Chain A
Amino acid sequence: MADIEDTHFETGDSGASTTFPMQCSALRKNGFVMLKSRPCKIVDMSTSKTGKHGHAKVHLVGLDIFSGKKYEDICPSTHNMDVPHVKREDYQLTCIDDGYLSLMSDSGELREDLKIPEGELGAQLKADYESGKELLCTVLKSCGEECVIAIKNNTALDK
């Protein structure tokens, strides 16, 4: 039993791993975990056990970090779960072209592969851009997916 617990099965299809294993008991609220193959932020954790002298099982509730959809899972606390690499990077918005954003990173690299986000955030982004404001966009990246998750007026251009 112990041997199986220690083994971690790679599930990803790409060579570079987008996740890493972590013992279930080491996960924390506000941290991240893969639930039903989706990267999720853990919003609730509770434990239960079978009988008074049984071992803990962890009940996880997470929200998909891209869609906000809720997922749940239950796992023995000694088992490993996959944790997604989650990266958030700020870019300066340089222009908007045909629904795509031109973004410049801190190191000066340019990218033009991200669309204007949907909904209120996108609308605000467009409005701010059109009114000539300097915008910083936070790009969330995990498991090969990327999108703009937050925007902010860039008040620190000089820094």
Chain B
Amino acid sequence: MEQQILQELESAAKIILAQPSVVTNQQRTEAENVFLNFRRTKCPYQICKYIFDHTSIDYVIFETCNTLKDAIIREWNYMEIDDVNSIRDYLLQHVLNHPNTPVFVREKILQVIAIMVKRGSVTDLGAERRKLLGEVERLIMSGELRKQILGCSIICALMQEYSNTVKSADVGLPWEAHLSAKKQFEMTDLKNIFQLCVGSLNEICKMDGSFSENALMLIKSLLLIAESTLMWAFISATNILFILHARIYRFSTHEADFNLSLKLSTHWKDIILDPSFIQLFFHLHWKIRNSAHLTHYTLNCLVQLASLNGPIVAVKQVKIDYIKNYMSCFLSFLNSVDIVDREAIGVSNIFLKLLLFNKMIIMSDLGREELVNNFFRQMTQLTCHFAEKASQHDSANYDESMFTEAFDNMLKAWEHLFLEHNENLFVESSKCIFDSYLRWHLSPPYGSRSKATSEEVDEAEEEEDLNKFGSQLVSIGIFARQVLDHSLPNLAKLIDEKTYELRLMWQGASNNNIQRDDLYEDLHWLLMISGHVLTNDKDESVSSIPDSIMKYSIQRAPNVNINASLTLLTTVDRSITQSDYAQLEESIDHVVWLVSAVFRLSELEKQMGEAKLTHVLSPTLSSTIAWFLQTWASSYLLLPEAQNSENSFVLVSAFGQQTDCAKWLVDFILNKVQSNICLFSADNCVTENTCKLLLSLSSTRNKALFLLKNEFFWSVINNGLRSHSGYVSPEIKRVLIKSLTTATSAYDGPEEKRREYIDQVLKSIIEKFRGIVLEENFKKQYHDEMIRSEIMEIIHLFIGVVEVAGVIQSTATTVCKCLAEYLSPVLSDMVSLISIYHNYQQITQLILELFKECSRTMLCYLSSSQNEARVFYEICLRLVETYVKHNSGRLTEEVNAEEDSFQDMLLFLDLLTNLLTKDIIDCGLAEENGEGKPVVNSVHVCILGLQGILPLMSVETLKFPTLCFKFYSLLSYIWELHAEKVCEQPHEFLVNILAVIELGLTLFGTQITGICCEFIQFFSRHLCLHAAQLQPEKFLLLQPFLKIMMTIILSRQINSENIKVFGLAFHSLICCYKDYYLRLVEELISSQTQPDIAQRLSEAFTKLTAGLHLGYDRQEKLTFENNFEKFVISIQEFLFIK
């Protein structure tokens, strides 16, 4: 029998390992099945032993280990302790006696041993583990390399088993048991292991000269253990909470998530606080730094040690001593070497961690002694060094450059330092780092950037520099603001210089593309940097001038010639050249100079565009200019005087609201917007940033007031809106109208005046719309391309208006009410349009989008007790009806029809979800109107809408993940909040919904299964609590789910993420249909043919509900939840074997 099985396995292995050309797919599948079946063997221990003794095929041994592993996990509770020990000893002997076993097999065997030790330690409190570790110690002390490495591997396997927190279901232990085993391990043996490892490393380190190959191999194994220990996620009160949360809210609990620092108890004091311990690791790193494959480990250990915190260093002097020792080892290491690329990230991380965890000690407790000065000198030098090295790398390979990442880490370390220490401690450092960053990104001769490439770039994959280098630029802005007298004039000079070069190039009509691209790239970077120097808003909603800039401007004021500064600001059509610099630097406000330099560039670009040179301009640069203007404008333009406690007179005169410059500045920007819209209509990146610029102008109160009174603003918008859609796209027109609507919303003057503005915005569009649809021939002409595109454009405009309705909090209610008055008749017409244009998907979707936007932005401001909201609901209902009328029962062969329908459904689901939210905002207020009639409420509309679109949702459309998620979320949302209303719906509708839920339980993946479980829980809770009021037909609706869920639980493994929700749903169902449940269990047990399985099944079910009276209360729920997890694990022990 055993021989036969072995033969079978060996021939299957041969097939699996054979070349693909020699065996057929079917043979391969069959062979795989042999192994899969073998894994399910009951009590396979004897057979496994036989196989170990008799086969020489490694793959067979590997698979045998898998079988053994599965069986042990499954059958652990039924195994005798002696059997366990004999299997473990046998496996260990096998590894020792077969030195040539390949690594993959050895690791597998060790894993099995480790699993057994861990499972055993739950009951023997680690006795067997200590025995094993004793053997391991002998192995490591043996001096024989092979044995030493084996010892290390055993330790690694053990640590692996104890450290896992994600896959606890796979080891057949409830999660709490796993945690307590882990805790026990880290309290007892982990430190011994580490001590053993450090001792061995110490011995090796004492060897003279360079290490032999063998020694390096052993060092690697030992470092792996040291690294795992120092990165160990120790169980503490805080991270237990974290893990608990992770399980409740279902996010990942990978070890790496919370081992950010080394937090140790005093238990570790004797090893870690010994000064020679840190010296050992630096010394070791110094000795192995030429072995590329090892540096990673030593550096990781050192980085973790730099973050040491927790009770071990709770006494301040202890911490000071530790840090002092660490820093002097670190600095003497840095002084003795040149950091190479593979070390850069590690070293930068050491700086970062030292400052993150010990800033106070370094900045104050250590005093300004030489050690600290040295530290910051090294930090500055290395930051500059990394920048320089990074610039030598090809810019296209940004991600691969170790130096760039190291530089980013250094910036983070500095930023952390600047958070509180704003005094001018680091002027020299800031200057050096700012300069090296400029050199990195500018072309020679000033900088050292490598040549631009002219390769094809895929725009979807290419991230914009502003995003990609976003945090870097923010940091550089901080450095620059430490040394404004250096950074501002330098940036201004460079921009003026490069702008002049561009002008010369244009006039000389140079065709040197490379030279031109270099110039564009320089300007692009100068603008990005300047923008980040002048503003420091990480959060775009609050914009103000940074204090340091204000102070700097005030401080220089005595030397500044205001008139000359203002003249320079508006001098945009001539170049500033080198001969002017000295005078400008002396007598002009530097902020004004820098801003005016960008204005000159912007103006030159505009002139070149008007001269039909758009094709030689750079869209990337144009978009950066628009970005700069927007960033600058949001903090500086029309600067209100009271904003900063101390205001610079020069800045207020230049950019303030009440000045002669104000109108010039606003018109300058509007001019730029207008020209960008016309000249760069084909470049999305430019139009996007231009649109943002325009929108940011209108979104603050004082700017909006200024704009609305400015005729040029109205004419820019109206000209844009009137342009043919070939020149100005509907999307841009949408932004134009948005900007106008935003400005009217931000207007806080008299109500009638705002109405007047709104009237001005909407009237002409509505008239145009009416003009088209009420035209006598419309019914004949509506197919006409021209008419269709005009209609689409108009809907775009309406969407634009609605998108920003309510965007200004203070006026939201009045604005939305006013807009609703204008738009209600339009929306009503839109329903008729959807009927006329039901064959034109683009129009249909725009209309749906309009409704969706209305429900998102306006609805919450409309009153439920008055007619406003009701009118909208009624139109929504007609919309759903009309859409359904034209689309149900339709068979189409249109290309891409499925995706079209998917997009429509997505829009509907958003609309319905938004409707439901309205009810939550109202909190059920105003159920009745004045005349005592019940008001149609949003839930009602939402449910009716759902009834309408349900028949249009096919299994195929649900296969689009976003749609599927939205749909099931909506269902669970409705049933959670309004189960009562749902129960009033027609029986057939409820049956259909339940059919969809049944599909969702198994068909669309883990997440959807979870949502369906929630749905079942909500619904059954409602049924359970209101059983008396319900008709039996309604009450029994969910009963079939008890069997369905039982089948799922018993036949396939529930994903571990879902065990909790599954349990809760199951519990609610049992509470609802107690008798039926008991009957089902009885049937199930009596249908088992094997008496022992029936027996175990019966025990499992008894334990599941032991002590519960199966009623619906909180305590019960919690107990059941616990029981259920154990239940799922226990049935796996006997149900899934052959």
Contact = CB atoms under 8 A, between A and B. Distances in A.
B785 A85 contact: yes
Contact of B458 (A25, A48, A55, A90): A48
A107 B780 CA distance: 9
Residue among A2, A22, A54 with max Cβ neighbours from chain B (10 Å): A54
B315 interface: no
A111 interface: no
B684 A150 contact: no
B900 A30 contact: yes
Nearest to A140: B894
Interface stretch (B475-483, B758-766, B835-843, B968-976): B835-843
Given A46-B460, A89-B839, A53 B520 contact: yes
Interface in A27-61: 28, 30-31, 41, 43, 46-56
B457 A149 contact: no
B891 A150 contact: yes
Contacts of B457: 48-52, 54
Given A2-B612, A53-B620, A78-B682, A47 B460 contact: yes
Contact of A54 (B454, B783, B839): B454
Contacts of A101: none
Given A22-B726, A25-B684, A55-B683, A156 B891 contact: no
Contacts of A55: 615, 619, 682-683
A121 B897 CA distance: 14
A43 B899 CA distance: 10
Nearest to A83: B785
Interface string B513-544: 00011001100100000000000000000000
B686 to A, nearest CB: 10
Given A30-B841, A46-B458, A117 B893 contact: yes
Contact of A56 (B682, B726, B780): B682
A138 B612 CA distance: 46
B725 A26 contact: yes
Given A64-B895, A156-B885, A25 B517 contact: no
B619 A51 contact: no
A151 B890 contact: yes
Interface string A137-159: 01010000000011111011000
A52 B885 contact: no
B454 A50 contact: yes
A69 to B, nearest CB: 9
Interface in A3-34: 20, 22-26, 28, 30-31
A41 B892 contact: no
A126 interface: no
Q: For the side of the interface on A, what is the size category?
A: 35 or more
Contacts of A23: 681-682, 726
A140 to B, nearest CB: 8
Interface string B714-732: 0000000000011001000
A121 B725 contact: no
Contacts of B841: 30
Nearest to B729: A26
A52 B620 contact: yes
A52 B683 CA distance: 13
Given A23-B682, A54-B454, A56-B682, A150 B612 contact: no
Contact of B517 (A53, A88, A153): A53
A25 B520 CA distance: 23
A53 B618 contact: yes
Contact of A41 (B785, B845, B896): B896
A103 interface: no
B208 interface: no
Contact of A51 (B517, B621, B780, B895): B517
A47 B684 contact: yes
A48 B459 contact: yes
Contacts of A156: 885
A56 B682 CA distance: 8
Contacts of A121: 891-893
A2 B610 CA distance: 12
B842 A1 contact: no
A73 B140 CA distance: 66
A68 interface: yes
A158 to B, nearest CB: 12
A43 B898 CA distance: 12
Contact of B896 (A63, A78, A120, A150): A63
A99 interface: no
Contact of A151 (B524, B840, B891, B896): B891
A68 B724 CA distance: 32
B454 A51 contact: yes
A68 B892 CA distance: 13
A53 to B, nearest CB: 4
Nearest to A22: B726
Given A23-B681, A25-B682, A153 B896 contact: no
Nearest to B895: A63
Contact of B459 (A2, A47, A88, A152): A47
A49 B452 CA distance: 14
Given A41-B895, A52-B620, A56-B619, A90 B839 contact: yes
A52 B785 contact: no
24 contacts: A2-B614, A30-B841, A30-B845, A41-B895, A47-B684, A50-B455, A50-B457, A51-B454, A51-B517, A52-B517, A53-B619, A53-B621, A55-B683, A56-B619, A63-B895, A63-B896, A77-B682, A78-B614, A78-B682, A87-B783, A89-B839, A138-B839, A152-B891, A156-B885
Given A53-B621, A56-B682, 19 more contacts: A22-B726, A30-B842, A30-B903, A31-B842, A47-B460, A48-B459, A49-B457, A49-B619, A51-B452, A51-B455, A51-B457, A51-B517, A52-B517, A53-B516, A55-B619, A77-B683, A78-B614, A85-B785, A138-B892
Interface of A: 1-2, 20, 22-26, 28, 30-31, 41, 43, 46-56, 63-65, 68, 77-78, 85, 87-90, 106-107, 117, 119-121, 124, 138, 140, 149-153, 155-156
